Structure 1
Amino acid sequence: MGGRIITVGLFGIIGAAILVSLGVWQLQRLAWKETVLAEIEARIDATPVGLPAAPDREADRYLPVTVTGQFLEDPARVLVSVQGSGPGFRLISPFGTEGGRRVLVDRGFLHESIETVPLPEGEVTVIGNLHWPDEVDGFTPAPDIARNMWFARDVDTLAAHFDTEPVFIVAREMSVSDAPVTPLPVTSEGIPNNHLGYAVQWFGLAIVWLGMTAFLAWRITRRTA
């Protein structure tokens, strides 16, 4: 009996140690992710700069920029639901800068009950952040161009549709009113950070593992008593 108890005990301790180490690793990942999120938030809130000549999708992601120019065409409508507001659309408009560039501007949210909204007229200064949203997967429907119904902010497809650079600015504010459109600026809220939950799961499994080990040891002693 003693040998079996020792084997079960070792098995339980080793298994629990592995599970605890995975929990500790997730806590380390949590600290790393919180540092990354703090850096992203600081970058988002930094002082806006001029639009880079050739923005890089990784190096310039979340970069605050300011551009001046004119909105050129009616926007693409990207289906979205906003908590507290319900379903509606993000309005993505082509924008011509003073320097002759054509880029994309995400103007914000328009509730589905509003049929049309005029383009801001004249010279407009837009302050926002560069972004290349990753919203397309194998289940995303193709846009219904005839109905102007889009299902994701697919920068490359939108740029091809409007003949712009694949440069995407999510507006934070404008020099003119764009009501009833509500800006939906870039934040770090949508970036997943589930490491604490994973750590709790691993630690919980370690406790269950030890409990099962203790129960098995108890059963062995009962059978041999």
Structure 2
Amino acid sequence: MTDGNTARQPLWVTAALLGVSAVLIVVFVLLGNWQVRRLVWKQELIAAVDARAFGEPAGVPTPFDPHQHAYLRASVDGRLLDQPAVLVKAVTGSGPGYWVMSPIKTDRGVLWVNRGYVPAEVQNPADWSPLSLPITGLLRPGVSGGTLLERNDPAAGRWVSRDPMAMSKALNLGPTLPYFIDADHQGASGTWPRGGLTVVRFRNPHLAYALTWYAMAALFAAALAYLIWSGRVARRL
């Protein structure tokens, strides 16, 4: 006849499972709490950006703080420089193409204007509507270097990110502001470049993430309770 004690789980295994489950419960709760804090931060960010982007146009701030002034709706005047536009690779809801970047001279330095999107077959400036001043749009911090997959190549005239400082350096334009302005669309509705395409939308999945972590904590808590219960039952046998 088999001894009932031999069927019992070793005490150290039970203790290890209890310890691991307890640690995981704490970790999952902490991760859920972190996602709740991220949720509050993201909601505040969305509210702040909405207030900046859809309010009355302001002046250009000095100094520019990307945390406070990104997507600020602003109006700026200046003088259009006699420089060819820089085409920056773009992928939009209208398909692949280019952002048309043109520099203007302001009393604070050179400011690059993103006039908008053109498809690959509309690269000829003769097909574009003229740029008129003053310009109203959204301020955006420059993106230096390039993207995760591609790098800017100023010597070859190949641009994949809107980097005002590097573009001015390549054209010897002098002191340049470290941000650009996404201009509203100018001209008739069907003309190019197509301005006003800035996407002011942020993903906010933090509530779903928080609920996922809390659910995992609850599952491990249930498993922990089962281990404790089954251990007591085994000791009674």
TM-score w.r.t. length of structure 1: 0.75
Q: Which structure: larger Rg?
A: 2
The aligned residue for residue 79 of structure 1 is: 89
Match status 1:129 vs 2:138: yes
- Contact 2:18–2:227 (Cα < 8 Å) also in 1: no
The aligned amino acid for 2:184 is R
1:155 to 142, 147, 164: 164
Match status 1:49 vs 2:49: no
CA deviations over 1:39-93 (Å, ceiling 9, x no partner): 111012221123345544444333322123443322111111113x211111111
1:105 to 113, 116, 126: 113
The aligned amino acid for 1:112 is A
CA deviations over 1:16-46 (Å, ceiling 9, x no partner): 2441342133123202210121111101222
TM-score w.r.t. length of structure 2: 0.72
Q: Mean alpha-carbon deviation: is it higher for 136-145 or for 195-204?
A: 136-145
Match status 1:37 vs 2:46: yes
Percentage identity across paired residues of the two chains: 23
Gaps of 5+ in 1: none
Residues 157 and 40 (structure 1), Cα distance of their counterparts in 2 relative to 1, 3 Å cut:
same
* RMSD over equivalenced CA pairs, Å: 3.7
Gaps of 5+ in 2: 1-7
- Contact 2:74–2:136 (Cα < 8 Å) also in 1: yes
The aligned residue for residue 125 of structure 2 is: 117
CA deviations over 1:92-119 (Å, ceiling 9, x no partner): 111234x584310011111112231346
- Contact 2:58–2:73 (Cα < 8 Å) also in 1: yes
User: Aligned partners of 2:33 and 2:105: how far apart in 1?
Assistant: 51
User: Aligned partners of 2:50 and 2:137: how far apart in 1?
Assistant: 14
1:141 to 139, 151, 166: 151
1:199 to 204, 210, 216: 210
SS for the counterpart of 1:131 is strand
User: Aligned partners of 1:65 and 1:114: how far apart in 2?
Assistant: 28
User: Aligned partners of 2:75 and 2:40: how far apart in 1?
Assistant: 33
2:194 to 164, 182, 193: 182
Q: Mean alpha-carbon deviation: is it higher for 1-10 or for 198-207?
A: 1-10
The aligned residue for residue 70 of structure 2 is: 61
User: Aligned partners of 1:159 and 1:205: how far apart in 2?
Assistant: 52
User: Aligned partners of 2:30 and 2:63: how far apart in 1?
Assistant: 44
Greater helix share, 1 or 2?
2
Match status 1:22 vs 2:34: no
- Contact 1:63–1:129 (Cα < 8 Å) also in 2: yes
CA deviations over 1:156-186 (Å, ceiling 9, x no partner): 2123234151241111244x45922111444
Residues 63 and 222 (structure 1), Cα distance of their counterparts in 2 relative to 1, 3 Å cut:
same
How many residue pairs get aligned? The number is 220
1:164-179 residue pairs with structure 2 within 5 A?
Answer: 165-166=176-177, 167-174=179-186, 176-177=187-188, 179=191
Residues 217 and 95 (structure 1), Cα distance of their counterparts in 2 relative to 1, 3 Å cut:
same
User: Aligned partners of 1:177 and 1:69: how far apart in 2?
Assistant: 23
SS for the counterpart of 1:104 is strand
Q: Mean alpha-carbon deviation: is it higher for 120-129 or for 30-39?
A: 120-129
